Amino acid sequence: MTRLLALSLLTIFTSCNHGSQPEHAGDVILITVDALRADFISPENTPSLARLAAEGLSFTNARASSSHPLQSSASLLTGLLPTRGGSIGLLEAAPSAEVETLAEAFAQSGYTTSLVSSQPLLSAEGFRRGYSDIQIARGGETWSATEVAERAIESLEDAGPDAPCFLHIHFADPHEPHLGTSSPSVSFAEIRARIADGAKGKSICTEQELESLLGAYRAEIAAVDAAIGLLLETIEPNAKPDGTLLLFTSTCGEEFLEHGYVGHSWTLHEEALRVPMILHSAASISSAVVTRAVSHVDIAPTLFAIAALQERSTGFDGDALVRSGEAIELGPREVLAELVIRERCIL
């Protein structure tokens, strides 16, 4: 653990100067989705996201800072790796009280701030800090992707025209159990039970069972994409004069037996870490495909720089990715990911 902490501290800190002219002064919308793999984004199944990627900056080599959704959510809101931002563990993972979050920074800069989430686990105080309007599903509640979008639209309308808004929208789907539009013939829980009983190879899961799971996963992703399409249809014609900046990513990926296991929060394999990341603004961002390695810890410094938010003493573990609407050429760089839970600790 000592070595892991030491390695996590060997990062480059960046900061933004408060008072400089913002590159974007309109609304900022952060859309996050649980457990969406980058390779499941396609024009056929996710036309809304494919359109955003084509029109904006699409980072095709992006990775989560952890395969645990709460740890990675905290990282993207703080720009710090889990061991630096206090977001380690399972259900207790959340931004540390000592670290300023994106919502707090935007609030201090005069933005109205809102959070709409169908993931009850984001109700921890660390995730709620800085938001003036909070709507989070309670444990046992199920909000469809469409309901999340409708609540987000209402929240944006309630913010009014006087000040720009920072709105964080979080979709719990496609997090397991992956029910899709119809229940698959096998669940992740059943597959894990078979593995625990000693099943190996094809005895873990038949091809038909696996395809039914993948079908349910694709259906959940398609539902989220349709909800994002609904958001875009409402946001674009009603945007403030400075336009809307939208950043989309997912908290982590998902394994489907590529390495003999299913789900996330247990390994740092590519399937559990590779995520989509899109930055879109018709008014201030030029379209391009960026293939260099980027990470969740780059999101906060990027938004700090674009909106000229007040610099903070803790710095960041990532770098700003955009300047004057164009992708910054950072050169070769390493991207770190961590998984710190009671059962295992991986860098």
- Torsion angles phi and psi, residue 258, rounded to 5: -60, -30
Distance CA 92, CA 18 (A): 32
User: Band of the pLDDT at 182, cuts 50, 70, 90?
Assistant: confident
CA dihedral for 92, 218, 139, 105, sign (positive or negative): positive
Q: What is the pLDDT of residue 325?
A: 92
* For the chain, counts of helices (H) and of strands (E): 11, 17
Mean pLDDT of 206-232: 97
In one-letter notation, the amino acid at residue 176 is: E
Mean pLDDT of 211-223: 97
Q: pLDDT at residue 9 above 50?
A: no
Query: Within 10 A of 268 (CB to CB), how many other CB atoms are there?
Result: 18
User: Band of the pLDDT at 13, cuts 50, 70, 90?
Assistant: very low
Report whether the peptide linkage leading into residue 276 is cis, meaning its omega lies within 30 degrees of zero.
Answer: no
Q: What is the pLDDT of residue 86?
A: 73
Burial of 158-177, coded b for 16+ CB within 10 Å and e otherwise, reads ebeeeebbbbbbbbbbbbbe
Reduced to 3 states (helix: H, G, I; strand: E, B; else coil), residue 15 is coil
What is each CA distance from 113 to 29, 163, 296, in whole angstroms? 10, 10, 21
8-state DSSP, 236: G
Query: Taking a C-beta distance cutoff of 8 angstroms, is the pair 52, 278 a contact?
Result: yes
Mean pLDDT of 190-214: 94
Q: What is the pLDDT of residue 5?
A: 36
Reduced to 3 states (helix: H, G, I; strand: E, B; else coil), residue 103 is helix
